[in-house]
Amino acid sequence: MKDAAEILKSFHVPFEITIVSAHRTPERMYSFAVSAKERGVQIIIAGAGGAAHLPGMVASLTPLPVIGVPIRTSSLDGVDSLLSIVQMPKGIPVATVAIGNAANAALLAVRMLATGDDELWERLIKYHELLRDTVLDKAEKLEGGGWEKYINP
């Protein structure tokens, strides 16, 4: 989840971070979810491994958007987490990103927030331009020097 914090920080999006467990601290999870809106939270990013009930349980307690991040596990390499998070019942949506991809969860949150924030929108546009320029620079290097020079500078 560190990657999500780094992305949010880089976009100057204020956030809070904590540890909550749907199974080990259900009262804490309940309190966290039902009070999120009044604390100013607009989107919740919830990482979960194994049974991965946290994102869905939080989504059942608040109408705020919830983005689930399946955490890689030792037993099934995170596939169990992914399947648990995406199998939500009708009426309880949880957006879900790839296993271990907290960065994309944060970027999705930034995109959602940017629809109502012009300054954040501009930072997002600059981020996309940077992504584009990085690919174009790599393509120029590859095309100009060949693949062998590209992989063995």
Tens-place pLDDT, residues 34-68 = 999 999 999 999 999 988 999 999 999 999 999 99
Whole-number Å distance between alpha carbons of 78 and 73: 5
Residues 13, 17, 23, 29: is their CA dihedral positive or negative? Answer: negative
Per the rule left: phi > 0, alpha: psi between -120 and 50, beta: everything else, 118 is alpha
Question: For the whole model, what pTM was predicted?
Answer: 0.93
Sequence-separated (6 or more) residues with CB below 8 Å from residue 61: 29, 30, 33, 34
pLDDT tens across 10-43, in order?
999 999 999 999 999 999 999 999 999 999 999 9
